[in-house]
Amino acid sequence: MLIHRTKVAVAALVCLCLLAVNAVLAQGSELRVGVPAPVDLNPATGSNDPETLFNRMIYDYLLDVAPDGSLVNQLASSYSISEDGLTYTLTLVAGVTFSDGSPLTAADVVFSFNYLKEAGSPALNLLGDFVVAAGDDGTVIFTLAQPNADFLFGIASRWSFILKDGTTAPNVIAEGADPYASFIGTGAFILSDYRPGESATFVKNPSYWIAGQPLLDTVTHIYIDDAQAQIDALRGGTVDFIFKVAFDRVAELEAEGLNVIIKPTNQHPVIRIRSDAGFLGEDVRVRQAFKLATDREILNLNLFDGNAIIGNNDPIGPLYGPFYDDTLAQPEYDPAAACALLAEAGYPDGLGADEPLMLYIDDSFNYVQMAEFLKEQWAEGCINVELLPRNPGDYYAGDMDTAEWMTVDLGITGWGSRPIPQQYLVEAYVTGASFNESHWSDAELDALVAEAAVTADIEARAAIYARIAAIFAERGPIIVPFFAPIVGVTAPGVTGLDMHPFPGSTDLRTVTVNR
């Protein structure tokens, strides 16, 4: 079996630096989280786990998505929907204040959702076309242009934080005596120290609106990009919680007395080929060749001991119940057929025969190890690649026009779990979607996704998703080899931590630490 190993010297150096950071951290009831460094702190646009976790410390939502995928009230005490599905009325919890002492009102909510539009937030993919207004200080009214079956999940999206009215540049460090003046929220914690690339420290909000919460005095994010260095930091007592740990580390970490959390999720790697005009994946035969050259069963066996769920080459996994089509034929591994398709497409010697194709890899989980297996499998299918592991912070850095993962021809990207399948489709696969890394445009797919958005009936929506899955199988530019459980690990003294399937959305308000 091929194994990806981190250099011991690098890990040791990182741990020495972390010990130095830990020596100056505040003592007491503190949870220390080992997490890669965030890139985009803007609450409306920062999308990955570190960025979401950072903002959850400071801000609240109107509605939140619980770890089981259900919607729960947060700053909204109740909501109602008109019979025509076009008007949503939300009542705010009374007596909530921001960390600067100002009261939460409907004006803050109106500002926050209008700011999502101004910032071009990915939340708009789920929210769609809406107008938001204040009914009175404690009531917010959303008016939709057309019914939207997922609108409440848009309100609860991980970008839909409630900001203070008039915040011109949220989460921008200022000069002077109050550098965190734009980090003002109603959340359970207040940012007290931020050192980019090193750490962020959050202290308990003494005026938090839920009595008795949070239980912790301090939460510190210690930024560690390397997965092995995160494990070493947990073993050495520098951090208390890490997540996105490779599944093959579970047995050894449990044997060391650490608490391992395993959650079934819809988390999956996307192996994709850029498919817009002028690129290799524009030819459907090339896309199909990559699928035929990929042995998903072997990947599952070697990476997860068979505990993952084989994918159908679309993002709609079994956790979505009736929306998952279990009748769709699983792709078979047939490297000879892959070679034949490539020859038919004009590549008689295969792809990368003279110069290997560059395969860019998000160096998270066990994706580099997976890519090493893929390289061997694809070689049998007449596809020759060179592996380019990328640090997640570098891979996702930049805006959507310049970020590496959005521009390369061939790549592997990690996609975290979403509460509803529609979220993947509108974020990554319809024409012009915010995160359309494959640059795919398919008119039939676009129409079906739009139809699903206004279809509330479960059976009717399931039929739409079945057709969408078939389109991905027929001509989609992606391979979803499996849906994987996600692994988090805590130190023995950590209690009350219910890791979210999207770990950055983990709620830390009821966590305690006993050292």
Q: Are strands 385-390 and 357-362 parallel, antiparallel or unpaired?
A: parallel
**Does any domain span residue 207?**
yes
Q: Determine the pLDDT at residue 393.
A: 79
Question: 274 and 142, same structural domain?
Answer: no
Domain of 252: which CATH number? Answer: 3.40.190.10
- Same domain, yes or no: 282 and 400: yes
Instruction: Enumerate residues 6+ apart whose C-beta is below 8 A from 143.
Output: 86, 87, 130, 131, 132, 133
Question: What pTM did the predictor assign?
Answer: 0.82
What integer best gives the mean pLDDT of the chain? 92
The reported pLDDT for the residue numbered 4 is: 36
Interior/surface letters 79-112, b for 16+ CB within 10 angstroms, e for the rest = beeeeeebebbbbbbeebebbeeeebbbebbbbb
Does some domain include residue 58?
no
User: Residue 350 belongs to a domain with what CATH number?
Assistant: 3.10.105.10
Residue 401: its pLDDT value, please? 82
Query: To the nearest 5 percent, what fractions of the chain are helix, strand and coil?
Result: 30, 20, 45
pLDDT higher than threshold 90 for residue 6: no
Do 275 and 298 share a domain, yes or no? Answer: yes
Two tokens at 495? 């209690």
Check pLDDT > 80 for residue 1.
Answer: no
pLDDT of residue 307: 86
- Domain match, 98 and 240 both: no
141-172 residues labelled b (16+ CB within 10 A) or e (exposed): bbebeeebbbbbbbbbbbbbbbbbbebeebbe
Residue 264 has pLDDT above 80, yes or no: yes
Choosing from 111, 134, 155, the residue where a domain stops is 155
User: CATH no. for residue 104?
Assistant: 3.90.76.10
- Tens of pLDDT, residue by residue over 101-142, are 999 999 999 999 999 999 999 999 999 999 999 999 999 999
Domain that holds residue 88: 63-155
Q: Is the pLDDT of residue 20 over 50?
A: no
- Partners of 33 in beta bridges: 221, 241
The verdict on residue 55 lying in a domain is: no
User: Distance between CA atoms of 418 and 142, rounded to whole angstroms?
Assistant: 23
Q: Is 14 contained in some domain?
A: yes
* Any domain includes 94: yes
pLDDT digits (tens, 9 = 90+) for 72-82: 999 999 999 99
Beta strands in 124-187 (DSSP E): 130-136, 139-144
Q: What is the pLDDT of residues 480-502, one digit of tens each?
A: 999 988 999 999 999 999 999 99
Range 237-254 average pLDDT: 94
Inside any domain, residue 238? yes
Greater model confidence, 203 or 19: 203
- For residue 194, pLDDT beyond 70: yes
What is the tens place of the pLDDT at every residue in 427-443?
A: 999 999 999 999 999 99
Provide the 10 A C-beta neighbour count for residue 254. Answer: 12
Helix (H, G, I), strand (E, B) or coil at 204: strand
Q: What is the pLDDT averaged over residues 199-205?
A: 98
Per-residue tokens: 450: 């739009």
What phi, psi does 499 have (nearest 5°)? -65, 135
Round to whole Å and give the CA distance between 278 and 465: 29
Which of 78-82, 328-332, 446-450 shows the lowest per-residue confidence on average (mean pLDDT)?
328-332
Tell me, yes or no, whether 426 and 447 share the same domain.
yes
Contact criterion met (CB below 8 Å) for 76 and 63: yes
Tell me which residue has tokens 């034949």: 340
pLDDT of residue 24: 36
Burial class (CB in 10 A: 0-12, 13-18, 19+), 68: exposed
Report pLDDT for 365: 86
Q: Is the Cβ–Cβ distance between 490 and 483 less than 8 Å?
A: no
364 within domain boundaries? yes
% of the chain with per-residue pLDDT over 90: 84
Give mean pLDDT, residues 133-153. Answer: 96
> Cis bond leading into 103, ω under 30°?
no
Same-domain check for residues 392 and 450: yes
Largest CA distance in the chain: 71
Residues in contact with 210: Cβ distance below 8 Å, sequence separation at least 6, in sequence order: 188, 509
Residue with tokens 């399931």: 462
Q: Is the pLDDT of residue 23 over 60?
A: no
Q: Are residues 462 and 507 in the same domain?
A: no
Indicate the number of domains in the chain.
3
The predicted pLDDT at position 99 comes to 97
- Are 119 and 227 members of one domain? no
Cβ-Cβ contacts under 8 Å for 212 (sequence gap 6 or more): none
* Dist. CA 29–CA 494, nearest whole Å: 11
User: Does residue 21 surpass a pLDDT of 50?
Assistant: no
The pairing of beta strand 259-263 with beta strand 486-490: antiparallel
- In this predicted structure, the answer to whether residue 18 has a pLDDT above a threshold of 90 is no
> Got the DSSP string for 455-514?
---HHHHHHHHHHHHHHHHHH-SEE--EE--EEEEE-TTEES----SSGGG---TT-EE-
Q: 198 with 82, same domain?
A: no
Residues constituting the chain = 515
CA distance readout (Å), 334 to 272, 341, 374, 478, 501 = 19, 11, 14, 17, 33
Give the pLDDT of residue 219: 98
> Would you say residue 97 lies in a domain?
yes
Q: How confident is the model at residue 10 (pLDDT cuts 50, 70, 90)?
A: very low
Distances (CA, A) of 398 to 4, 160, 271, 395, 436: 27, 21, 21, 9, 15
Task: Tell me the C-alpha to C-alpha distance, in Å, between residue 347 and each of 145, 282, 476.
Answer: 48, 14, 20
Q: How confident is the model at residue 329 (pLDDT cuts 50, 70, 90)?
A: confident
**What number is the average pLDDT over the span 369-382?**
98
Residue at a domain's end among 133, 155, 177? 155
Please report which confidence band the pLDDT of residue 50 belongs to, taking 50, 70 and 90 as the band edges. Answer: very high
Same domain, 309 and 278: yes
- For CA atoms 47, 53, 57, 61, the dihedral sign is positive
State yes or no: pLDDT of 17 exceeds 50: no
Q: How confident is the model at residue 364 (pLDDT cuts 50, 70, 90)?
A: confident
Average confidence (pLDDT) over 313-338: 91
Say whether both 78 and 67 belong to one domain.
yes
What value does the mean pLDDT take over residues 292-303? 95
Residues 335 and 422 in one domain: yes
